[in-house]
Structure 1
Amino acid sequence: MTEEDIKLKYITPAIQKAGWDIMNDVFCEYSFTDGRIIVRGNLTTRGKSKRADYLLFHKKNYPIAIVEAKDNKQEAGAGMQQALDYAEILDVPFAFSSNGDRFIEHDRLTGKERELTLDEFPTREELWKRYVKEADITPEQEQIINEPYYFQLGDKTPRYYQRIAVNRTVEAIANGQNKILLVMATGTGKTYTAFQIIYRLWKAGVKKKVLFLADRNILVDQTIINDFKPFEKVMTKIENRKLDSSYEVYLALYHQLAGDNGSEPFRQFKPDFFDLIIVDEAHRGSARDDSRWRKVLEYFDTKGTTQIALTATPKETKETSNITYFGEPVYTYSLKQGIDDGFLAPYKVMRIGLDKDLQGYRPEKGKRDIHGELIEDREYNQKDFDKKIIIDARTETVAKRITQFLKKTDRFAKTIVFCIDIEHAERMRRALVNENSDLCKENSKYVMRITGDNKEGKAQLDNFIDRGSKYPTIVTTSKLLTTGVDVKTCKLIVLDSNINSMTEFKQIIGRGTRLDVEHGKEYFTIMDFRNVSRLFADPDFDGDPIVIIDVPEGGDMPGYDDGETGGETGGDTGNGGTGTGGEAGNGGDGGDPTRKYRLDDVDVKIIHERVQYYDVEGKLITESLVDYTKKNIQKQYASLDVFLRTWKEEERKEIILEALKEQGVLLDALREYDNLKDLDDFDLILHLAYDQPPLTKAERANNVKKRGYIYGYKDVAREVLEMLLDKYMNEGITEIEGTEVLELSEFHKFGSPMKIVKAFGNKKKYLDAVKKLKDEIYLA
């Protein structure tokens, strides 16, 4: 019997016999990831999703057991390793494996295994009682844990990691923990997770007064109209420092609520007024004077108050410290996990080197800038450009390269250009307008600057975020768009700012990681002009979170350049780049701290450009793409003979090519090389892995015609084979396999697919003819 037979005839009946409701308690073939998006050149494919044979629920959104099935040729425990792997990912306490003869049970709470007959499979109540006993859950705690999620017909349901985050948080609170840290990558639904946590605790009557703190108005407003909408009758936004105690759910900007010393609005409430406080993007509150949120938390830190921190990037400094306020995270869902699961968009990185950046620039003695200022005689490097010295040609070169990329891909792809400061963002906007004057003539909002000092730009932020709005398309910014702004359709992120903060880097990358397949967003590109992407190699990029060391008032963050912490006031709040972040300063030379030299007579050109690729594990490929591909092909097929034999025996070549893709072979990416773009996958493999002289698709098609195979057929059959051969020459072998190709418009002139296969005699004879055609194509 097959595995499916075993499940249908033995395992499912055994689970039903134990009293499980197969319609409500049991999910079969339960897919809990979407499968990683694999980018090959400009094409994307999906890897396999993770799928459990059975997931058994104690109640909705509370899975308690997983069952993996194997066919009867294998031992009953053959599926246990996979069951345990999935159980760990899904946070499920009991794992079972079966071959239809019996069950093997693994209790993850005790670490013990036992063998059961088919009649001994435990009931739902049995498993729950064991879980409650082994986890030492009191009746009062059980009542809180059992409070259901919010759900209305048509609503989204939580993904597996959101469910784990909610359940672990609720359980921690039920166990008396009053400070909780949740780490979830940007774009994974922290606010929706927070809503479900609040709702369950609020409905259970455990938490009646809730405060949700954020650091940007747009984050609060998005939360009110989206995820928190079910609270609309009991919810208010604290504004103008007026606090109304009649509501139950409050949203506020933490720096407004904190106020200034001697004028602190939060003191209008008694310390025990709120029994649940959630801080969104908590990492930002630790930088410089933004630590004002700490005053709020400490004021409301009473016995009955629970405080939860949500963050994507709690680590802000290379100076390691213990987690001092919220404690160890109860759950972490990282950027890497999100990309591996297929819930976040993967990225391509283009590192572009400009000559002045890589070689430095030293003005000739006595050189003056466009304002007649004598330029200090020293060598200026990448960190100085646009901060201490402005070279107009550099800005123009960056704008040209951005425009060139968009013209080659999609000119209406939403793009964010991160600049040094407000002045730089304005110069970049102007340069991009000049490079895209044709589209700016049609609509002046095609390129806009969105910075803290610019009302017109900020007024267009909603349109930039709106998936249905074409304009603005390209925006330049400094700090304003580093966090929280949900731009699902953002396809290009340009880094032209000196970023050393790992937190800021993660937040910027987070602007692109949201998927929007419906609108054609399956991956995004990072165009790096300042070597910021070196931070990908830092082991802390996706490492364990660490709360940063508090900095004294007015002090600098350890390990940072000035103005690069990504704080609320860092660069997007002042005029002309003189905000408190200090980005505009000339600094260190004893001159006017706001002065910048500006030159319009220095040439700048691109001297180095490299596209970086990542393997199926999400790790950067450090060797050449050719060497990497050769190694991965030979890992699958040790010799040329093995590959040729496999290729000939496999009727559907697509199966071989898909298997190679899953192993990380980047054939489509290699077609970006001019000398390889006309080869099909077969010749690419022969040439790269086994050093065989390649034939182009056109050469192979012409060889088939010369040998006369297709001329053995007449009329419609011959014409169809000729069209299939042309289709192979233009698009590749996988496009002509199967009968689906006959449904394409170019074949309509011959009639329906059924009529076409009849021209060959029948469907089998048509498939035989195509198989022989493929054999002819690949004759030596």
Structure 2
Amino acid sequence: MPTPETRARADIDAALDKAGWAVQDRYAVNLAAARGVAVREVPLKPGHGVADYLLFVDGLAVGVIEAKRVGTTLTGVEPQTAKYGAGLPDYLDTLVKPLPFLYQSTSIETRFTNGLDPEPRSRRVFSFHRPETLAAWISGTPPAQAAVASPILRAAEDPARYQAVTTLRARLQKMPRLDPGRLWPAQEQAVRNLERSLADDRPRALIQMTMGSGKTYTAITAIYRLIKYADAQRILFLVDRANLGTQAKKEFDAYVPPDDRRTFTQLYNVQHLKTNRIDPTARVVITTIQRLYSILKGEPELDPSLEEGSHFDTASGLVPEPVPVVYNPDVPIETFDFIVIDECHRSIYNLWRQVLEYFDAYLIGLTATPSKQTFGFFNQNLVMEYSYPQAVADGVNVDHDIYRIRTRITESGSTIEAGMYVEKRDRLTRAARWEQLDEDLAYDAADLDRAVVAPDQIRTVIRTFRDRLFTEIFPGRSHVPKTLIYAKDDAHAEEIVQIVREEFGKGNDFCQKITYKTTGVRPEDLIQSFRISYNPRIAVTVDMIATGTDIKPIEIVMFMRAVKSRTFFEQMKGRGVRVIDETEFKAVTPDAERKTRFVLIDCVGVTERMLSDSPPLERAPTVSFETLLQRVAFGSLDRDLLSSLASRLARLDRQLGAPDKARLAECAGGHTLQDIARGIIDALDPDRQVEAARTMFGLPPGEDPTPEQLEQATRELLRQAAAPIATNPDLREQLVSLRRHYEQTIDVVSKDSLLEAGFDAQARERARELTTSFEQFIIEHKDEITALQVLYSRPYGQRLRFADIKALADAIQAPPRQWTTDRLWQAYETLDKSRVRGSGMRRLTDVVSLVRFALHQEEELIPFEEQVEARFDAWLAQQAALGREFTEEQRRWLEWIRDHIVASYTIELDAFDYAPFAQHGGLGRFYQLFGSDWRTLLDELNEVLAA
């Protein structure tokens, strides 16, 4: 049986072969056999050992590979590899000594160091670089010219030419001063900060700029400079969906740099991918990640419809594993030097992250609404933060008002009494029939526009909007402001469009549906008309205009659908924040002087709910059937996803009649839905997975496979079980079609009534009631809840413990109160924004900040994390003033302690048994670093930081 080392070598051989290297034994060397040759087991100078692989390009030695068994941590191998690189025998020719290109690999993980860089630092790479790439780097020749024979030899013959060679990372450190040109100050700062991050060789950087602040223009400015001054060979501009790629291409077309009169696309070739072929001459490539993945898979083409959906929507409620990616020789890892990710949504960093990490490229994220996962993916390297309030203050965005419309059915649903005749409508065909109810039909708000459509509910909302539009919302106007309405789904959008036209007494052009199911006219053309033409005045969408799409004249954003994600809500709301030139604005809305604000009309209470950025659930009970099928089609083998899919298939099978079952079986090559569901369930059985691994690897009965063998066999088992769905688009289409053939009940009986319509003054009253109740709760329980006892009596007689804080939080959330830290924080913010900082998701320890603020012990409500960080910085400054200096390692341990106190309020000795302390020596190492007064130091930090 092969050893782990032998298996790793075999996999490394295969990876080198795919990357264009000829792998040879040292006794059968022929350096002329290929452009790049990797020779195994080459003895080096005495004392330098034997190189596992010595790399030759054009007959000259350029690098080494150190092979290790799977599981080896590779950074510890770097000194060994460097030793090999310096031990090249004198009889071997090279251009650079020591050898510059150093790899360490287990075949599962590979790290690479370019010794030509100013500060050589290893980085993880998906696979090995191609020989011509190393030739280009070492000779200073562009890759296109490096494909010509022997540029390294020519460089060797011309030492002066070689001396002028610089690497990309070296050039990034010598970027010329930025000419601001037409950049806004925030855009200029973003470009400067990004270039500083790149000069420091930070592999990932995040730019957070609010909607409408010119992120794309900022990115194009940075891209122009990276191509012109850093000689970046190719940059990928990744967009969320196809129509945003078209929008980005137009911005590249229009961009004129400050130092040239020509446009960007006159200077450099920009390709907007609409096929699966990357133009080798393109310096910028614009595409969606769906198409990029399709290219990596080697597919000849991609169905354009798969590029239409926003990842905010398709990722909702689902955490699939990253899509499987394997090396593609036609798209090597060095294809792009930089990847700019526009509007970085959370699915990019779970479902699709392996596609990004395939390339040996810097990653630059652009977003208005980052989540915690976004920050984590970019290594917390936020190079620019420009918030909505800042943009409003700078005149880059307009502010907004909230107008609330509440109706009885919207909030409480209704009941149709038995004996009434109701319309039943097929969701897909919209064919209608009438049926008499034999019992009462009660429905709640969640059923609206899904199982039940209540036209009068939609009509009441739209009629209220119409009646209040020119008296309260935009008094004095006569032209309906450009209005964007968010619907629940396409069928809901259809209902809204019809009712809007009726209530406003207008024709088809006045109100248009813009969704992915719009036919006859391209959605892009409708969006363009909405942007620059008088009509449509009102557009109804689901999520096609939810993110990224720039429509500056919008003055009203109306929510007739609920949203759970804070980031998605902010993106949707952000369609209204754009500023617009007065002349352009009046051309679209004649009676508008200038755009000074927009109005968010909330018809479903979305502005009153606590929205969340928490990670999606592990299982997918609320994920659409179509989304599950699409994920399987894209190759996901996530266990929870497949389990949910099997459940849906089994449920659908029970609902179908014999004709539909037979038609599906014929389409599925004889497989019934029950067969497919059973196959998936069987593949999820751990015992079957073990047996599959034994069969795959020829293990004797009773012998347990290794974790790696089990995982490989399991993936293959799951892949085979999912194949009937994954490889059959026709079957998927039929399944979606049948699943949609459920009837909606049309409630034409219930009459809706308006409960409230007006700007959101009521929110302040509700916030005041909540905070008053909270402060009364503190007073009433100050003697019975330990945390309140401590916080109520300053100075503290005892130290507050994490368990005490947890008990306080539980007491606050217990019925009948059911308060949360987030809700209370938002209430205080509603009452006085100037005294509240840090909107968004809260930590458990923030309850301490809340109580202190409620007790008037603090003038401002500040997140506990910010307070601890400020106290920590002040403490460090005090220590420095006292002459106490800390080493880099000591500083790192102090920062870990700070972060632990942020999360747990205090630090106790048992914390050193866990990450990150345990991995670095635990309490013993802490004692070594800080000596005998370590206990005093811990007590001091607990007292100072928790204060």
> What TM-score, normalized by structure 2, do the two folds share?
0.42
**Is 1:253 paired with 2:296?**
no
Within a 5 Å distance, the mapping from 1:103-114 to structure 2 comes to none
In the TM superposition, residue 416 of structure 1 has moved relative to its aligned partner by 0.6
The answer for the alignment partner of 1:4 in structure 2 is none
The answer for the alignment partner of 2:367 in structure 1 is 311
Gaps of 5+ in 1: 1-137, 152-156, 541-545, 571-580, 625-662, 666-780
1:144 to 174, 182, 185: 174
Cα 1:384–1:407 change in 2 (3 A) is same
The answer for the alignment partner of 2:264 in structure 1 is 231
Cα 1:271–1:150 change in 2 (3 A) is farther
**Is 1:242 paired with 2:277?**
yes
Within a 5 Å distance, the mapping from 1:12-161 to structure 2 comes to 140=170, 144-149=174-179, 151=181, 157-161=182-186
Q: Summarize deviations over 1:9-29 as a string: whole Å, max 9, x none.
A: xxxxxxxxxxxxxxxxxxxxx
The answer for the alignment partner of 1:98 in structure 2 is none
1:412 to 477, 480, 503: 480
What amino acid is the match of 1:278? V
The answer for the alignment partner of 1:185 in structure 2 is 210
Distance in 2 of aligned mates of 1:141 and 1:412: 53
What amino acid is the match of 1:534? E
In the TM superposition, residue 308 of structure 1 has moved relative to its aligned partner by 0.9
What amino acid is the match of 1:532? V
Distance in 1 of aligned mates of 2:626 and 2:347: 11
The answer for the alignment partner of 1:424 in structure 2 is 492
The answer for the alignment partner of 1:401 in structure 2 is 464
User: 3-state SS of the aligned residue for 2:276?
Assistant: coil
Distance in 1 of aligned mates of 2:768 and 2:232: 54
Distance in 2 of aligned mates of 1:405 and 1:185: 30
Cα 1:141–1:299 change in 2 (3 A) is closer
What amino acid is the match of 2:595? K
User: 3-state SS of the aligned residue for 2:363?
Assistant: strand
What amino acid is the match of 2:388? L
What amino acid is the match of 1:246? T
The answer for the alignment partner of 1:642 in structure 2 is none
What amino acid is the match of 1:463? Q
**Is 1:282 paired with 2:344?**
yes
Distance in 2 of aligned mates of 1:566 and 1:485: 23
User: 3-state SS of the aligned residue for 1:223?
Assistant: helix
Q: How many residue pairs are counted as aligned between the two chains?
A: 443
**Is 1:604 paired with 2:634?**
no
Distance in 2 of aligned mates of 1:568 and 1:447: 33
In the TM superposition, residue 359 of structure 1 has moved relative to its aligned partner by 3.3
Q: Summarize deviations over 1:350-402 as a string: whole Å, max 9, x none.
A: 11110112333133246553134559856422222102211111121122123
Distance in 2 of aligned mates of 1:386 and 1:605: 17
Distance in 2 of aligned mates of 1:566 and 1:337: 37
Distance in 1 of aligned mates of 2:209 and 2:762: 22
8 A Cα contact 1:182 1:329, kept in partner? yes
**Is 1:448 paired with 2:512?**
yes
1:514 to 568, 578, 581: 578
Distance in 2 of aligned mates of 1:620 and 1:273: 57
In the TM superposition, residue 281 of structure 1 has moved relative to its aligned partner by 1.0
2:332 to 270, 274, 278: 270
In the TM superposition, residue 347 of structure 1 has moved relative to its aligned partner by 0.8
Distance in 2 of aligned mates of 1:499 and 1:271: 38
Distance in 2 of aligned mates of 1:352 and 1:531: 8
In the TM superposition, residue 568 of structure 1 has moved relative to its aligned partner by 14
Q: Summarize deviations over 1:712-733 as a string: whole Å, max 9, x none.
A: xxxxxxxxxxxxxxxxxxxxxx
Larger proportion of helix: 2
8 A Cα contact 1:309 1:326, kept in partner? no
What amino acid is the match of 2:345? H
The answer for the alignment partner of 1:529 in structure 2 is 603
Q: Summarize deviations over 1:183-234 as a string: whole Å, max 9, x none.
A: 1111111101111111122111242211101022222222222245432142
Q: Summarize deviations over 1:671-693 as a string: whole Å, max 9, x none.
A: xxxxxxxxxxxxxxxxxxxxxxx
Q: Summarize deviations over 1:552-609 as a string: whole Å, max 9, x none.
A: 7xx539xxx6469999999xxxxxxxxxx99xx9x99998763322111210111112
Distance in 1 of aligned mates of 2:539 and 2:177: 44
Cα 1:614–1:170 change in 2 (3 A) is farther
Cα 1:172–1:459 change in 2 (3 A) is closer
Distance in 1 of aligned mates of 2:400 and 2:752: 28
Cα 1:321–1:167 change in 2 (3 A) is closer
What amino acid is the match of 1:247? A
What amino acid is the match of 1:604? D
In the TM superposition, residue 451 of structure 1 has moved relative to its aligned partner by 0.6
1:165 to 156, 181, 190: 190
Within a 5 Å distance, the mapping from 1:174-573 to structure 2 comes to 174-227=199-252, 229=255, 230-232=263-265, 233-259=268-294, 262-264=297-299, 267=328, 268-283=330-345, 285-286=347-348, 291-292=351-352, 294-300=353-359, 302=360, 305-315=361-371, 323-324=376-377, 326-365=379-418, 367=420, 369-371=422-424, 372=434, 374=437, 379-408=442-471, 409=474, 410=477, 411-437=479-505, 439-440=506-507, 444-455=508-519, 456=521, 458-467=523-532, 469-516=533-580, 518=582, 519=585, 520-535=594-609, 549=615, 555-556=619-620, 562=623
8 A Cα contact 2:234 2:336, kept in partner? yes
8 A Cα contact 1:183 1:313, kept in partner? yes
8 A Cα contact 2:337 2:362, kept in partner? yes
Percentage of identical aligned residues: 23
8 A Cα contact 2:530 2:536, kept in partner? no
8 A Cα contact 1:420 1:478, kept in partner? yes
Gaps of 5+ in 2: 1-167, 256-262, 301-326, 425-433, 586-593, 632-643, 656-738, 770-831, 835-947
Distance in 2 of aligned mates of 1:349 and 1:567: 36
What amino acid is the match of 2:490? I
8 A Cα contact 2:481 2:556, kept in partner? yes
In the TM superposition, residue 465 of structure 1 has moved relative to its aligned partner by 4.3
Distance in 2 of aligned mates of 1:322 and 1:454: 36
Cα 1:461–1:405 change in 2 (3 A) is farther
Cα 1:614–1:177 change in 2 (3 A) is farther
Cα 1:370–1:515 change in 2 (3 A) is same
User: 3-state SS of the aligned residue for 2:216?
Assistant: helix
8 A Cα contact 1:429 1:448, kept in partner? yes
Distance in 1 of aligned mates of 2:380 and 2:451: 41
Distance in 1 of aligned mates of 2:365 and 2:606: 28
Q: Summarize deviations over 1:163-195 as a string: whole Å, max 9, x none.
A: 121111111111111111111111111101111
8 A Cα contact 2:552 2:580, kept in partner? yes
Q: Summarize deviations over 1:324-364 as a string: whole Å, max 9, x none.
A: 45544222212232223332111111111101123331332
User: 3-state SS of the aligned residue for 1:510?
Assistant: helix
Distance in 1 of aligned mates of 2:542 and 2:290: 21
In the TM superposition, residue 463 of structure 1 has moved relative to its aligned partner by 3.4
8 A Cα contact 1:149 1:196, kept in partner? no
What amino acid is the match of 2:367? T
